[in-house]
Structure 1
């Protein structure tokens, strides 16, 4: 009977297996930055994240604390007038892991709301720090022996690998967007600002061009050859509810409008093997979207609250097909079929699906003949999901690491029935 059941599931397009929790880590403080995972030294994986009480943690793959660094900076009298002492040391920007001293081990680079940028060794020891005059909510870019990040003091900073200032660029407003590098005719540093501008600088900090949107930009630009024409393009979301695609000269290729703010970086991935890159992202209109390279919607999937964190694109069950893993502020992790599915279960114009978003049916209603988001699995967590990453274990299985605002880090894995 089990073989027959499995065959029926495959024929109907349903996936076998389930998502289950492998471990949970309690940080005893609100988790404020998206977790990052990487091989810190050969064969040793580290999971790194920051908390609202100013701690940077590194865990091993089994959730054991390798070390944590606690920001000890004292808050001055003037700062106390404007800052909440309990959250003034918060680490909102995701850490950057990079071998900046060429010792074969990755260092940890991050900023905090107190305005300092820190470089820690792979063992969690302070190597150096650098002070700015505003909160640092921008993750660092390491490029051409420079460490580049933004601050709410309106400056984009470029430091050398020992923490000394090389140059800074003054924008018209604070910078919470993380910079990205575009390599084309010339190397460009691309980032957004709080007043809605997208900036391009050369590697010396000189302005090349800027593009104006109508909303705050906190998202990191995504850079990729979306058309498969050997040219890189910029795709970025804004609080004006739009996704923008620009060419390397800052000219608009297209925009796509949602009904909510877009806070985080989009994912670029070839989900249908056509060599072109699709655009996958979440919006504060509660939806997860997949767009074609030309900005037309392929599918969307509605959750019950905002989708703020950047999705993951993985083959979580090792079946050769990609899945979209997205966390929502409705406390759920959604695993969706990356290609969507063609909706054939109703007659044109007469829907038989009574939809309660994300729950009653795993297909979102749409116009006849549209591809729609298809839910494969859903996992309920203990709080709002602020970010995710993944590690690959020694069985070549991918494990999802989910950051939960309420202070938990969950490891979720696929298990075959």
Structure 2
């Protein structure tokens, strides 16, 4: 597979702009599960496919290389912590970050460690801070963010630090690269455009903020399309910014709900999902006007991807959706076994939280009790992993610990 920017490489959401748009035929109807592979931990991470292998990490502290044809493990690499980033493949190496505070470079043919780069340590902002920054490789340099508040540039073959840039908060977004510029947000509420060779600021954009989230924390990643950068914030906004100047083009507020998913843009539309309001939105990419929305009734944290005229994404209810881009009409839905087993117990007839979980939310005295409700939801086999599509198959991870391959 060839990636825009580096030959024989592949990245989270398919390219270094994090477009999420794949030059693949859409899967208009679902034949079924080609295979699934069980790990020993939840999967928040997202898969990538390179040649004949699926690469993905797990909360069980292992990074897996799996045969895409039959789901058999080729090798697995033990790390020092949970793996919550997607990998990038370049230079015959798999690069991924880990909760132990290291960036790893592992040989894709053997699973042997070539080098690892140590940051000043990772951090978890709150129980909903599910993802780490996924490394992106361009022109021999690996770029990623860290819980130590820094954005790093590291030599792809040696692991030697080239530059670092300090922000005012945790950086768990994945960098997007366009026109020799790195675009990334931080939990400090600022969105940064940095020169990729030097790490120097090109411009910085401040989110609006909200009464309940005054910093306008940026948890999710941006995507770049046609000279515009799109990203969401915990201040309930989706932003569209001019990539060259950093000036705002428009913002769209969905009151009371974080925008964490990475926007996906195609055919003049930008797609994103909200968390608490539990909808998938399609917006006009130029004006920010809403075209359609689909109620999902429960949170979406994983991002969507597109192949041809179909939008694909998973939901915390354990269901995976394929929608028509232009109408939002459901083309097919896949449900994990865990979802089938627990749906009626924990959710109501519409798919919203059932009375037992709502009562637990009402009675929650602190953030730990509140987050326990989400632990219960994850027993449904929640899909917060961003999918990857390749050659008629679609791959994603689930909190039931399984990696799924659908065809």
TM over 0.5: yes
Higher share of residues assigned strand? 1
Q: Deviations along 1:172-218, whole A, 9 cap, x unmatched?
A: 111111111121xxx21110001211011112011121111122212
Contact preservation (8 Å) 2:30, 2:406: no
Give the match's secondary structure for 2:219. coil
CA distance in 2, matches of 1:115, 1:127: 17
CA displacement, residues 240-261 of structure 1 (integer Å, 9 cap, x when unaligned): 1211000021100001112421
Q: Structure 1 residue 70: deviation in Å?
A: 0.3
TM normalised by structure 2 equals 0.74
Alignment match, 2:261: 264
Which of 35, 38, 48 is the matching residue for 2:47?
Answer: 35
Give the equivalent residue in structure 2 for 1:216: 217
Match of residue 344 from structure 1: none
Structure 1 residue 117 displacement after superposition: 0.8
Partner-residue secondary structure (3-state), 1:129: strand
Does the CA contact (< 8 Å) of 2:86 and 2:96 recur in 1? yes
Residue equivalent to 2:279: 287
Q: Secondary structure at the match of 2:192?
A: strand
Matched residues, number:
315
Aligned mates of 1:56, 1:16 — CA distance in 2: 31
Distance 2:30 2:105 in 1: 39
Task: Give the Å deviation of 1:19.
Answer: 4.8
Structure 1's 262 and 111: CA in aligned 2 closer, same or farther, altered over 3 A? same
The equivalences for 1:115-264 within 5 A come to 115-122=101-108, 123-135=110-122, 137-161=132-156, 162-183=158-179, 187-203=180-196, 204-213=198-207, 214=209, 215-225=216-226, 232-247=227-242, 248-259=244-255, 260-264=257-261
2:96 match: 110
SS state of the match for residue 152, structure 2?
A: strand
Counterpart CA distance in 1 for 2:42 and 2:324 is: 31
1:263 & 1:313 partners in 2: Cα distance?
A: 18
Q: CA deviation at 1:374?
A: 1.4
State how far apart, in whole Å, the 2-side matches of 1:221 and 1:16 are: 28
CA RMSD between the two structures: 1.7
Deviations 1:69-105 (A, max 9, x none): 001x4xxxxxxxxxxxxxxx11111111122xxxxxx
- Off by >6 Å, runs of 4+ in structure 1: none
**In the aligned structure 2, how far is the partner of 1:90 from the partner of 1:199?**
27
User: Residue 293 of structure 2 corresponds to which residue in structure 1?
Assistant: 300
Higher helix share: 2
Partner SS, residue 92 of structure 1: coil
Q: Residues 320-331 of structure 1: matches in 2 within 5 Å?
A: 322-331=309-318
Query: SS of the counterpart of 2:324?
Result: strand
Match of 1:387 among 385, 395, 399: 385
SS in 1 for 2:325: strand
Matched-pair contact (CA < 8 Å) for 1:173–1:194 = yes
Considering only CA atoms, is the larger Rg found in Structure 1 or Structure 2? 1
Aligned 8 A contact 1:288 1:326 in 2: no
Whether the 8 Å contact between 1:263 and 1:308 is mirrored in structure 2 is: yes
Q: TM-score, normalised by structure 1?
A: 0.73
**Counterparts of 1:16-27 in structure 2 under 5 Å?**
17-27=29-39
Q: 2:367: which partner in 1?
A: none
Q: Which runs of 5+ in 1 are unaligned?
A: 1-14, 40-44, 74-88, 100-105, 226-231, 271-276, 316-321, 341-372
Question: For 1:110 and 1:145, how far apart are their aligned partners in 2?
Answer: 15
